[in-house]
């Protein structure tokens, strides 16, 4: 094979996102989209004109049902993801999200310099989440928690099931439903901003790295250069170096 | 609150009822109404009647601090005349600034006497919040600050009832910036049961119901975790509202003078706080069950909820924090943040192509090379 390019890479397939992680991701995305759309409707319903009798209409009712179904899916999906953080592969592990080593912070700083400040330097190589992304996902998990607490807190008083009732203490903590509602509404914007940046960065990484970032959440694999694979150092941010 | 502990010369409620010229039938009507209000079943009527027949009057000290007296007004307009006539006017009140005949030293002595004579037996009702700012000078009665009076009266009280939103959560006086440091009762009194009966004012029948419950059972009614009687505050106004079907159908009043308002659609979009307000308005209504705000075409303002003045505007679905800027609600801030984010990302995309040009071109060349080398 004759080539004038020295850097025609040989790529190695890495199974990064296991099937449950991919299911989790897309179920979560779907639930969040439904929750945002129905949430906006519930907060400020459209003035729908209809000639039907009021008794034959259930617009807000259906929107709320959709919101509640999506919230249950979102909630159990979230619980499943926490569980998978302990039993899944190294890229799904909880230590991808919570910094436990200096190396994690070093990588975060490096990502910040290269990807955000666009400084010249050695491109970082991360196979799963990079440290910065992982740390930001930690905040999304906190946002998930806030939405679950405030959402089920509001829902508790209209539910007869014990599960939502477990959250009845939330409104009491804040002295009533009003503040909970406001927090629930404000936090929703975090999800919108996150989604926009998230999608952008997926395209960005695919574009500058060429490792199949976009499709990785479909098939589960990314492709890394053979020389990266040979270099033990480049694995996950929190993984001990001596681990084979 | 057993009988023998209260001196027996006190007439019972029923004796007072008779003395005032009410018939047995009037009395039983009152009993059945109260039984229903406090959430008891029919069979408990006998118990309520017996309590009112045998219990001597309950000594009550009713204090007024920073408030507007709307709670008292509401109470004396309670639908059944016996409520005002017997529970309040004739029977219970040993001290209340607004309604007692005595004044000056005489009145103060009356309070002292009640506190000594019925030590540990009397019920302390408090209407209004206690100003804690500037050593309490904003509300002083007879040379004493509200806090001094409250502490003195609370010490030997059997139970304390915090009437209205002022006493329960501070109401409008405690709205930001709360210049007098208006403080609700439960934050000042320790080690005594405090029954919160919030509302601005609370419904008269609810107030009467709390007192009748105390009388009948000799103990405080079952309270929720915020200290409110469950019988009256466990349901949202939204869940008991007769306009709820319009809410579910998605039919809303868009502005106060539109066709939808005439049709009596749901007031959600003009700021109804019914969905976040726990009260009995939708069930008991006001003024002898005549109406309640929503029935009269006005959204619920959530007057029985903590901080209802600060939790957004009265005629809007709230999504703004107090002090976050007058116009800043979540959606405005969100849209601005989204715009800033989009601009930042666009900038980043441009910069990526400039700064990482070599890297991107390298990938491109590499890909093109493979493409050339492929035969078909």
Q: Read off the pLDDT of residues A178-190 as tens digits, 9 standing for 90 and up.
A: 888 888 988 999 9
Beta bridge partners of A222: A14
Domain B235-328, architecture per CATH = Irregular (4.10)
Place of tokens 């607490």: A149
* Closest Cα in chain B, distance from residue A225 (Å): 12
Write down the H helix ranges in B77-203.
81-82, 104-117, 146-155, 164-169
What's phi and psi for B31, nearest 5 deg?
Answer: -60, -45
Interface residue of B356, B364, B370 to substitute, partner A, most A CBs within 10 Å = B356
Whole-model pTM over 0.90: no
The answer to whether B236 touches B277, Cβ cutoff 8 Å, is yes
Chain A touched by B156 (CB under 8 Å): no
Task: Report chain A residues whose CB lies below 8 A from the CB of B316.
Answer: none
Q: Read off the pLDDT of residues B282-301 as tens digits, 9 standing for 90 and up.
A: 888 888 788 899 999 999 99
Buried-exposed string B4-26: b where 16+ CB fall within 10 A, e elsewhere: eebeeebebbbebbeeeebeeee
pLDDT > 50? residue A3:
no
**Interface contact flag, A186 B330, Cβ < 8 Å:** yes
**Interface contact flag, A192 B338, Cβ < 8 Å:** yes
Report the helix count and the strand count for chain A, using DSSP H and E: 9, 2
**How far is it, in rounded angstroms, from Cα B140 to Cα B161?**
21
What's the pLDDT at B322?
Answer: 53
**Interface contact flag, A188 B330, Cβ < 8 Å:** yes
**Interface contact flag, A208 B239, Cβ < 8 Å:** no
Q: Which residues contact B25 (CB under 8 A, 6 or more apart)?
A: none
**Interface contact flag, A196 B345, Cβ < 8 Å:** yes
Q: pLDDT confidence of A196, banded at 50, 70, 90?
A: very high
Pairwise pLDDT comparison (B215 vs A220), residue with the higher score: A220
Pairwise pLDDT comparison (B328 vs A227), residue with the higher score: A227
* Closest Cα in chain A, distance from residue B5 (Å): 37
Name residues of chain B where pLDDT drops below 50: 1-8, 90-92
Between positions 137 and 156 of A, the ones with CB within 8 A of B are none
What's the CATH number where A28 sits?
A: 1.20.950.20
Residue A175 in any domain: the answer is yes
Closest CA to B188 of B65, B60, B93, B96: B65
Chain A touched by B255 (CB under 8 Å): no
Residue A229 in any domain: the answer is no
Domain positions in chain B: 3-233, 235-328, 334-373
What's the pLDDT at A242?
Answer: 46
Smallest Cβ distance to B355: which of A63, A118, A188? Answer: A118
**Which domain range does residue A82 map to?**
20-44+58-193
The torsion defined by the Cα of A145, A150, A153 and A158, in degrees rounded to 10, comes to: -120
Between positions 316 and 345 of B, the ones with CB within 8 A of A are 317-321, 330-331, 333-334, 337-338, 341-342, 345
Pairing of strands B182-183, B130-131: antiparallel
Chain A touched by B186 (CB under 8 Å): no
| Residue A85 structure tokens | 């953080």
For CA atoms A92, A97, A101, A104, the dihedral sign is positive
Count the neighbouring beta carbons within 10 Å of the beta carbon of residue B139: 20
Nearest CA in chain A to B313: A178
**How far is it, in rounded angstroms, from Cα A184 to Cα B162?**
31
CA dist list (Å): B7 to B11, B12, B56, B108, B160: 10, 11, 8, 22, 21
**How far is it, in rounded angstroms, from Cα B178 to Cα B166?**
12
What's the pLDDT at A73?
Answer: 95
What's the pLDDT at B93?
Answer: 58
What's the pLDDT at B361?
Answer: 87
What's the pLDDT at B108?
Answer: 79
Residue A202 in any domain: the answer is no
**How far is it, in rounded angstroms, from Cα B99 to Cα B115?**
18
Chain B touched by A182 (CB under 8 Å): yes
Chain B touched by A197 (CB under 8 Å): yes
Place of tokens 């984010």: B341
Between positions 275 and 304 of B, the ones with CB within 8 A of A are 275-278, 302
**Interface contact flag, B250 A197, Cβ < 8 Å:** no
Residue A110 in any domain: the answer is yes
pLDDT > 80? residue A233:
no
What's the pLDDT at A135?
Answer: 92
Q: Read off the pLDDT of residues B219-272 as tens digits, 9 standing for 90 and up.
A: 888 888 888 998 889 889 999 999 999 999 888 998 898 888 998 899 998 989
Question: Domain total for chain A?
Answer: 1
pLDDT > 60? residue A234:
no
Smallest Cβ distance to B302: which of A178, A192, A197? Answer: A178
The secondary structure of residue A116, as a DSSP letter, is: I
Residue A217 in any domain: the answer is no
Task: Report chain A residues whose CB lies below 8 A from the CB of B196.
Answer: none
Q: Which residues contact A117 (CB under 8 A, 6 or more apart)?
A: none
* Closest Cα in chain A, distance from residue B79 (Å): 29
Task: Report chain B residues whose CB lies below 8 A from the CB of A179.
Answer: 307, 311
Tell whether ipTM is more than 0.90.
Answer: no
Strand locations in chain B, DSSP E?
Answer: 60-64, 93-96, 123-127, 130-131, 140-141, 144-145, 159-163, 182-183, 194-197
Chain A touched by B80 (CB under 8 Å): no
Strand, coil or helix: B203: coil
As a whole number, the mean pLDDT across chain B is 82
Query: What is the CATH code for B3-233?
Result: 3.40.50.700
**Interface contact flag, B319 A182, Cβ < 8 Å:** yes
The answer to whether A32 touches A71, Cβ cutoff 8 Å, is no
The secondary structure of residue B309, as a DSSP letter, is: T
Q: Read off the pLDDT of residues A91-111 as tens digits, 9 standing for 90 and up.
A: 888 888 888 888 888 888 888
**How far is it, in rounded angstroms, from Cα B323 to Cα B330?**
13
């Amino acid at each position: 094979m004759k080539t004038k390019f020295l850097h025609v890479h040989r790529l190695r397939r890495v199974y990064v996102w296991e099937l449950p992680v991919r299911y989790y991701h897309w179920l979560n995305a779907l639930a969040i989209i439904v929750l945002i759309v129905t949430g906006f409707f519930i907060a400020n319903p459209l003035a729908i004109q209809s000639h039907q009798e009021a008794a034959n209409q259930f617009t807000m009712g259906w929107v709320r049902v959709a919101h509640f179904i999506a919230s249950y899916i979102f909630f159990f999906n979230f619980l499943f993801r926490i569980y998978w953080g302990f039993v899944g592969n190294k890229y799904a592990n909880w230590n991808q999200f919570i910094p436990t080593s200096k190396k994690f912070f070093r990588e975060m700083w490096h990502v910040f310099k290269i990807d955000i400040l666009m400084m010249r330097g050695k491109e970082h190589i991360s196979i799963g989440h990079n440290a910065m992304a992982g740390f930001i996902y930690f905040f999304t998990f906190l946002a998930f928690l806030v939405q679950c607490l405030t959402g089920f807190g509001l829902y508790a008083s209209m539910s007869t099931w014990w599960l939502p009732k477990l959250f009845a203490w939330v409104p009491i903590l804040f002295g009533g439903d009003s503040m909970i509602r406001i927090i629930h509404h404000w936090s929703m914007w975090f999800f919108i901003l996150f989604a926009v940046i998230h999608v952008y960065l997926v395209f960005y990484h695919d574009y500058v790295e060429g490792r199949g970032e976009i499709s990785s959440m479909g098939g589960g694999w990314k492709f890394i250069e053979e020389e990266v694979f040979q270099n033990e150092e480049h694995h996950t941010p929190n993984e001990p170096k001596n681990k084979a | 609150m057993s009988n023998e502990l209260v001196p027996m010369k006190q007439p019972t409620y029923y004796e007072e009822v008779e003395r005032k010229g009410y018939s047995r039938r009037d009395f039983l009507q009152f009993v059945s109404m109260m039984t229903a209000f406090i959430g008891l079943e029919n069979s408990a009527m006998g118990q309520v009647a017996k309590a009112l027949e045998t219990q001597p009057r309950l000594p009550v000290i009713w204090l007024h601090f920073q408030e507007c007296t709307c709670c008292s007004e509401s109470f004396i307009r309670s639908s059944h005349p016996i409520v005002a006539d017997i529970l309040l006017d004739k029977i219970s009140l040993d001290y209340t600034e607004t309604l007692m005949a005595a004044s000056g030293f005489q009145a103060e002595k009356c309070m002292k006497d009640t506190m000594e004579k019925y030590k540990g037996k009397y019920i302390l009702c408090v209407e209004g919040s206690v100003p804690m700012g500037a050593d309490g000078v904003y509300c002083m009665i007879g040379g004493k600050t509200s806090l001094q009076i409250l502490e003195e009266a609370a010490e030997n009280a059997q139970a304390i009832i915090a009437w209205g939103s002022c006493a329960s959560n501070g109401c409008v006086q405690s709205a930001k910036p709360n210049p007098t440091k208006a403080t609700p009762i439960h934050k000042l009194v320790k080690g005594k049961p405090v029954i919160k009966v919030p509302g601005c004012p609370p419904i008269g029948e609810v107030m009467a119901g709390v007192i009748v419950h105390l009388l009948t059972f000799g103990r405080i009614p079952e309270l929720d975790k915020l200290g409110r009687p469950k019988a009256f505050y466990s349901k949202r106004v939204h869940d008991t509202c007769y306009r709820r079907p319009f809410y579910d159908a998605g039919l809303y009043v868009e502005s106060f003078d539109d066709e939808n308002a005439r049709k009596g659609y749901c007031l959600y979009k003009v700021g109804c706080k019914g969905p976040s307000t726990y009260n009995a308005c939708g069930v008991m209504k006001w003024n002898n069950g005549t109406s309640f705000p929503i029935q009269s075409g006005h959204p619920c303002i959530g007057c029985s909820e903590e901080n209802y003045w600060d939790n957004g505007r009265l005629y809007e679905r709230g999504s703004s924090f107090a002090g976050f800027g007058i116009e800043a609600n979540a959606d405005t801030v969100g849209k601005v943040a989204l715009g800033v984010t989009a601009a930042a990302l666009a900038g980043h995309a441009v910069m990526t192509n400039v700064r990482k040009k070599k890297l991107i071109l390298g990938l491109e060349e590499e890909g093109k090379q493979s493409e050339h080398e492929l035969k078909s």
